[in-house]
């Protein structure tokens, strides 16, 4: 059955429709929609209504063929922790999970929707079991469901965007190899570490494309749109504009690489066998010229730009002008792709 993965951003919506044909996963359609008037962060009734209506129009115009959607929840509304518990049966686990959640979730349990999943057993540590706890704010879930229904779509699942990214880009249980995914968006970057097919670490840092454009704007005295354009065209290319853009961006990326290094060290202490070798860059900022080279030179790890479509057959995007090569903009569809993959 075809499934639509929906990545709802503050004012940008991205959707990927996947279907399964025998053993193959096919990308049926993908498209994005942007409207600066939208504001997903607002709880005002009018804003929620407008978001839902715009979503509905986007889906209808693009011609997606299914109403069944899996939606991603913004990192900021979700608490995820891995807890290690002694071996116990499902009933015992169920009855002790609230107690565990109370220790780790910084919100009253009455305000969240709590779910948990057994990941795997650590035989080196008395057979303890790794449990992934996920708590999402109830009021936010209600808002998302409201928006989805307003758009005449049918929610199949809602999950943290970090889990969708892990599914789309991370390692697998069959070929465990610790992988760091860095989703570099507009307002923030999220560092996600997967190992043996599960997301086990996430950290959000306030470094995103917006800060980069603003720094260029201030340093070079440009207006924002111009600065944003310079960033996208020249990025980390030292040879452009006397290295002026490069010089503004370099310290920002140095902060980010430092955070990545710290996350990697922290994680490796907990999972000495994870053997992290790979960093995958995704999100809008991952398309920056010169970024791959810069990160590869500054991290002692293999670095690649995300292409969630790498293993699937792809039908071109819906658009009137000729569709760009899919790999050019693949990184902005990683989340929506991972979401659809959950249920397809």
Ligand X SMILES: Nc1ncnc2c1ncn2[C@@H]1O[C@H](COP(=O)(O)OP(=O)(O)OP(=O)(O)O)[C@@H](O)[C@H]1O
- Give yes or no for residue 202 binding ligand X (CB under 6 A): no
Q: How far is the CB of 6 from ligand X (least distance, A)?
A: 12
Among residues 2, 3, 4, 9, which is the contact residue for ligand X, using CB under 6 A?
9
Q: How far is the CB of 208 from Mg ion (least distance, A)?
A: 9
- Is the CB of residue 8 less than 8 Å from the CB of residue 40? yes
Burial 54-65 (b: 16+ CB within 10 A, else e): bbbebbeebebe
- Give yes or no for residue 12 binding ligand X (CB under 6 A): yes
Among residues 160, 176, 178, 185, which is the contact residue for Mg ion, using CB under 5 A?
185
Q: Which is nearer to ligand X, 8 or 131 (CB)?
A: 8
Say how many CA atoms lie within 13 Å of 26 toward its Cβ: 11
Measured over the CA atoms of residue 278, residue 279, residue 283 and residue 287, the dihedral's sign is negative
Using the contact rule CB under 5 A, the part of the chain among 183-191, 199-207, 214-222, 293-301 near Mg ion is 183-191
Q: Is 203 exposed, middle or buried (0-12, 13-18, 19+ CB in 10 A)?
A: middle
Q: How far is the CB of 37 from Mg ion (least distance, A)?
A: 19
Element (H, E) at 229: helix 224-234
Contacts of 239 (CB under 8 A, 6+ apart): none
- Give yes or no for residue 284 binding Mg ion (CB under 5 A): no
Among residues 159, 171, 228, 237, which is the contact residue for ligand X, using CB under 6 A?
228
Q: How far is the CB of 341 from ligand X (least distance, A)?
A: 18
Q: How far is the CB of 13 from ligand X (least distance, A)?
A: 9
Give the pair of three-digit tokens for residue 29.
Answer: 């359609």
Q: Which is nearer to Mg ion, 164 or 248 (CB)?
A: 164
Q: How far is the CB of 216 from ligand X (least distance, A)?
A: 10
- Give yes or no for residue 232 binding ligand X (CB under 6 A): yes
- Give yes or no for residue 185 binding ligand X (CB under 6 A): yes
Instruction: Round to whole Å and give the CA distance between 240 and 317.
Output: 32
Q: How far is the CB of 267 from ligand X (least distance, A)?
A: 22
Residues paired with residue 122 on neighbouring β-strands, in sequence order: 128
Pairing of strands 198-205, 24-34: unpaired
Using the contact rule CB under 6 A, the part of the chain among 51-59, 85-93, 120-128, 224-232 near ligand X is 224-232
Instruction: Round to whole Å and give the CA distance between 24 and 34.
Output: 31
Kindly write down the DSSP assignment for every residue of 250-297, as one continuous string. HHHHHHHHHHHHHHHHHHHHH-TT----EEEEESGGGG-TTHHHHHHH
- Among residue numbers 271 through 310, which ones bind ligand X (CB under 6 A)? 283-285, 287-288
Among residues 143, 156, 200, 231, which is the contact residue for ligand X, using CB under 6 A?
231
Q: What residue ranges bind ligand X (CB under 6 A)?
A: 9-10, 12, 185-188, 208-210, 213, 228, 231-232, 235, 283-285, 287-288, 332
């Amino acid at each position: 059955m075809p499934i639509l993965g929906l990545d709802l951003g503050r004012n940008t919506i991205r959707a990927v429709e996947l279907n399964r044909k025998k053993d193959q996963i096919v990308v049926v359609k993908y498209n994005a929609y942007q409207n600066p008037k939208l504001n997903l962060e607002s709880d005002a009734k009018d804003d929620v209504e407008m978001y839902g209506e715009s979503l509905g129009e986007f889906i209808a115009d693009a011609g997606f063929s299914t109403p069944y959607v899996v939606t991603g929840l913004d990192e900021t509304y979700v608490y995820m922790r891995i807890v290690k518990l002694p071996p116990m049966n499902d009933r015992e686990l169920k009855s002790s999970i609230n107690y565990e959640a109370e220790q780790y979730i910084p919100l009253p349990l009455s305000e969240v929707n709590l779910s948990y999943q057994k990941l795997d057993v650590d035989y080196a540590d008395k057979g303890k079991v790794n449990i992934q706890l996920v708590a999402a704010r109830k009021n936010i879930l209600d808002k998302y469901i409201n928006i989805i229904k307003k758009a005449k779509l049918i929610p199949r699942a809602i999950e943290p965007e970090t889990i969708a990214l892990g599914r789309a880009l991370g390692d697998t249980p069959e070929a465990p190899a610790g992988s760091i995914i860095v989703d570099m968006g507009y307002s923030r970057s999220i560092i996600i570490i997967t190992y043996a097919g599960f997301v086990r670490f996430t950290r959000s840092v306030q470094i995103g494309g917006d800060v980069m454009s603003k720094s260029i704007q201030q340093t070079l005295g440009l207006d924002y749109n111009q600065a944003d354009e310079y960033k996208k065209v020249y990025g980390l290319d030292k040879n452009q504009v006397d290295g002026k853009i490069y010089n503004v961006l370099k310290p920002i990326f140095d902060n980010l690489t430092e955070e990545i290094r710290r996350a990697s060290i922290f994680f490796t202490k907990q999972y000495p066998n994870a053997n992290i070798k790979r960093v995958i860059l995704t999100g809008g900022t991952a398309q920056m010229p010169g970024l791959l080279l810069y990160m590869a030179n500054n991290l002692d790890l293999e670095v690649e730009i995300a292409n969630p479509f790498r293993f699937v057959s792809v039908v071109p995007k819906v658009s009137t002008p000729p569709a760009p090569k899919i790999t050019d903009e693949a990184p902005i569809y990683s989340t929506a792709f991972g979401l659809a993959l959950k249920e397809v």
